[in-house]
Structures are given as structure tokens and as C-alpha cells.
Chains A and B, each alone.
Chain A
Amino acid sequence: MNAGASGNGGGRAAAELHAELGGVTRVYPAVAGYRPVHALGPVDLDLRRGEFFSVVGPSGCGKSTLLEVLAGLQPPSEGKVSFEGKPVHGQVPEGVGVVFQEDASFPWLSVWDNAAFGLRRAGVDSAEIERRVGDALAFMGLKDFQRAYPAQLSGGMRQRVCIARTLVLQPRLILLDEPFGALDAQTRLLMGDEVLRLWRRTGATILLITHALDEAAMLSDRVGVMSARPGRFLDLVETKWPKERDSTIVSEAGFGEVTARLWHHLRGESLKALGQSGAAAAGGRAEA
């Protein structure tokens, strides 16, 4: 299924297209006696400018691979990737920011210096750095911790440091790779609210990779449901939430319907994925 062509967005003007994957596959080559792994695709994805798009799928279905291919962190084996009409290859395009699942804060730098890292590299003048970093830290609720080091912060706060570090670069496309995966359910809901605020304020396009159906249903304009490996889009769910929304949306009747529709596809795929991991553990190694 083409993730851009289904749902109500099929006839949108091309001018609204922000990033695109066309017939993308990713096959990891064989290493050290292991067979090649067909991780992704073929997938098509049209991201509209300013939308909040989430990707859900069973473990190991290639969600993170999709994000990394879109970010230019790894090349597609086949297909085309473009951002703002320009092909993506070899490096992360200017205007794209990525927040990873793992803690990627720099332990040797204070919160302030973490956030200012990219701006200093880019040679932005100090007054502008002061303004942007101060703004981002205030926005992420880290103003009182600007002199602290990441080790002094909780997991959620460290993830906010990473978001602030990305935010100061004013990306037009923000890719979030399960950024709240390590957090407890309550903190995830609250972090979701912060991401929604960030999205509204920046106007950036957001692609969120998550395994949490409620998170995807609550945050997104559209949710792409992926199959078990090799990941393909099975369904595209348009939530039709208003732009001004927050975590209280979980009490809406429509929220249950969206979540149920996501789970309808995912249940079978997750069972398949479980079977795949069992098979991989039993005999995934290539014969010598």
C-alpha cells in the first residue's frame, strides 16, 4: 500500500509534499555466516508538509530502518528518497533533525552546552545561540537545569535535552525514533503533550516511530501500520483530530476506534513477527 495515496490525502497538491519514499527497500547484506536480511519494503510514503505522521508495527519490522533511510543515515537498497524535492543520499539533509530512542545526550557537556552543540558547530553568533538555546530549554522545561550534566537528570529529561538539541537547529522535518520507549506510561503521555506543543509551535513535519498504539493514536494526523518483516504499509489511518489537541484526547470515543483499527492489523502481524523471531533463533544462521 502507498502510504501517501490512501485515505483523504490522496489528491493533495504536490506542493504540500515534504518528504517522499518511492519503492524503497532495504536489504542488509550477509555478514559473518548470516543470511542477508530483507528488513524493509518496498514502501512508498508521502509526508505532507506540517503533518504529524506515526509509524507503528511489530518489533523488528523495519520501522527504525525506514526512519534512517528517510534521514539519509543509511542508503536504500532500491527506490528513491527525497526531502523537499531533492534526493537524499549519503548524508542527513539540512533541515532534518533526528531524535533517537537511545540516550544520545553528551555526558561530558552540560545541558546548555548539549543544546548549543549544533549551533556552535555551525558558527552561529553567540547572541543568537543564547536566544535559541534559552528558548528551547525554556520550552522543554529545562531552564532550571541548564548547568546540570545529563547524569544528574532522569531518562525523560535527558530525552528532552536531545529534543532541545535538535530543536535549536530549527528542523523542518523532525524524525523521532521511539524517543519515549524507555519511559514509563505516564511520563510518555506527558512527553507526548510536549511533542504536540513543539509540533504546533515549530510547524515542522514530524515522523514518529513507535510501538505504542495509544501514543500513535493520540499524537498523529495519520498513522501508517507496518507489516512484519520485511516491513510494508498495510493500512493508513487518518485520525482527523483537531490541531489543538493533547493527551486528554484518550477519553474521546474516536480514540478507541482508531486504536482498535490499528490493533486489528497489528495483532496478526505481531504474531507473525513472534514466529519470525522464533525461526531466526532456531535456524536463522546460514548453513556453512
Chain B
Amino acid sequence: MSRIGWIRLAVLAALVALLETLVRTGIIPYKTMLPPSEMLTALVRLLAAGTATRDIVQTLTCVGAALVSSVVAGFGLGVAIHRFPRVRRALEPFFATYYAVPFFIFYPVLIAIFDLSLLPIILMGFAFAVIAMCIATINGLDRVPRVLGKVARMHRMREFETALRMKLPAAAPHLFTGLKLCVAYSFIGVIASEFILAPSGLGHAIAYAYNDFDNRTMYALMLFVMIVVVTLNMLLHGWEQRLLKRWHGR
């Protein structure tokens, strides 16, 4: 590991140790928060007992569906909008204000339409993530050097092949930003939706444990969500860094 990596690890360990000390010494009341070591123990026990497995599978399935659909639709939408500058200019104010809309107000409407199924949850995750991917795609395509379009024409490539073999890889470093945002927004959309009304899933389980004063389960599940999200983002970040190194030689 690099020196910076060690410093990063040391900062994280120091923060965890501080939290552990604050709870163990009673500065943070035990009934408010568990020490991190107990959160971890509780999580291991929960996973071993399998009591949360159904919720975990449901949430990860919803996040996966929201993530894949938002990345595919966001990329397609971005490519389509990029082709038509007038449409883009017309839509720009909507993009600028999109994340100002409190999406969760629409959740009861979605339930009224789709019932208490997984679909409203996936749709919330999708709605949260899709525009981030769309904007990242448009920005990425803006930065594809024009000369690559000429190279594509020199190789007599058709439009779809040009998009797939030339524009997509050329815009890849920028698409990663969209992908990372999609992961984060899909998790936020899905878990927050489960929190509000869903009868199952990790969000529901955390809310249920909270209402039941079951701190051990609540913190264990929160820790699980954090580990999954941070791990996924770190993997993507590592991949992105490797790509950027190849692109820019640094």
C-alpha cells in the first residue's frame, strides 16, 4: 500500500477508535449509539443467523435493477439528447432543477398505481439516478475529440458502431462519474423508499428496528449498508483511477 493509503487507513482507524472511546466512556450514551466493535459483532451474528437475508436480497435486487436500468436509460438518453442540440438547450433548465424536486412526495402515487410491490421502490431508485447518468453522458460526449469522428468516418464506421467503439470508450472516464453517482443515488432512492412505506427490505428493517428500540439490529444493518456502498464505490474509484492513469499517463 502507498504512503497515502496508510495515512487514509490511519485516519479511518483513528475515527473508529474515537467513536469507540466516546461510547465506552459514556460521553455518547450507550442507548443512543453502540460502539463500532459491537456494531460489527451484531452484524456478524445477524448475517450468521440469516434473519436479515431476505431483506438484504430484496434491497440489493432493487438497487441492482435501479442501477442497471438508470445507467442504460441515462446513457441512451444522454446519447440521444447530445445528438440534438436544440432539444438539449430546451431540456437544460429541467436538468438544472431536477434534483431540487423532493421525489419522495411521489411515492404514495407510485404505490397507488403499482401497489406495494418492488416496482415503486425500483422506480424511485431509477428516478433518483437516471438524470445523473444522462448528464454525465452528455458531458462525456462533449469532451470526445472531434477528430475521432473523422477517424470513424475514415474507417467507414456506421453511427451505432461509432457510438459503441469510438465515443463510448473515449467518454468512459466521464461516464464513470455518472456510474458512481448512479450507485449512490440508487441506494438512496431504494433504501429511503423502503424506509417510508415498504413492508420489507433493508430500509424497512432499519426503520422497524428503530421503532422497536432494537439498536443492535439497527446499527448492524446501517453498518452493512455503509460497507456495501463504500466497497462498491471504492471498487469503481479504483477502476476509474486505473483508467485515468491509462488515459493521462498519471
Contact = CB atoms under 8 A, between A and B. Distances in A.
A24 B172 CA distance: 39
A151 B153 contact: no
A108 B247 contact: yes
A180 B155 CA distance: 22
Contacts of A107: 170, 246-248
A97 B154 contact: yes
Contacts of A104: 145, 147-148, 150-151
A95 to B, nearest CB: 12
A108 B170 contact: yes
B154 A151 contact: no
B3 interface: no
Nearest to A102: B147
Contacts of B243: 108
Interface string B215-250: 000000000000000000000000000010011111
A3 interface: no
B169 A98 contact: no
A106 interface: yes
A106 B167 CA distance: 11
A149 B169 CA distance: 14
B162 to A, nearest CB: 12
A108 B246 CA distance: 7
Interface residues of A, number: 22
A73 interface: yes
Contact of A91 (B148, B156, B170): B156
Contact of A152 (B148, B169, B172, B249): B249
Contacts of A68: 150
B150 A151 contact: no
B147 A100 contact: yes
Interface in A101-129: 102-104, 106-108, 117-118, 121
- Secondary structure at the B interface, as helix, strand, loop or mixed, is helix
Given A91-B156, A106-B169, A118-B155, A151 B247 contact: yes
Contacts of B153: 73, 91-92
B218 to A, nearest CB: 44
A152 B249 CA distance: 6
A1 B145 CA distance: 36
A15 to B, nearest CB: 27
B128 to A, nearest CB: 30
Nearest to A93: B156
A108 B249 contact: no
A contact face: mostly helix, strand, loop, or mixed: loop
Name the interface size band of chain B: 20 to 34
A71 interface: yes
Nearest to B155: A118
B143 to A, nearest CB: 12
Contacts of A92: 153-154, 156
Contacts of B155: 117-118, 121
Contacts of B250: 151
Contacts of B146: 102
A91 B156 CA distance: 7
A98 B150 contact: yes
Contacts of B145: 102-104
B165 to A, nearest CB: 8
Given A71-B154, A73-B154, A149 B148 contact: no
B249 A151 contact: yes
Q: Which of A102, A107, A118 has the most chain B CB atoms closer than 10 A to its own CB?
A: A107
B172 to A, nearest CB: 7
Contacts of B151: 100, 104
Given A92-B156, A108-B169, A108-B172, A100 B248 contact: no
Given A68-B150, A108-B170, 19 more contacts: A91-B153, A92-B154, A94-B156, A98-B150, A100-B147, A102-B145, A102-B147, A103-B145, A104-B145, A104-B148, A104-B151, A106-B166, A107-B248, A108-B169, A108-B243, A149-B249, A151-B248, A151-B249, A152-B249
Interface of B: 145-148, 150-151, 153-157, 166, 169-170, 172, 243, 246-250
In the complex, the 6 A-B pairs of residues with the closest C-beta atoms, listed nearest first = A151-B249, A102-B147, A108-B169, A104-B147, A107-B247, A98-B154
Interface of A: 68, 71, 73, 91-92, 94, 96-98, 100, 102-104, 106-108, 117-118, 121, 149, 151-152
25 contacts: A92-B153, A92-B154, A94-B156, A96-B154, A97-B154, A98-B154, A100-B147, A100-B150, A100-B151, A102-B145, A103-B145, A104-B145, A104-B148, A104-B150, A106-B169, A107-B247, A108-B169, A108-B170, A108-B172, A108-B243, A108-B247, A118-B155, A149-B246, A149-B247, A151-B248
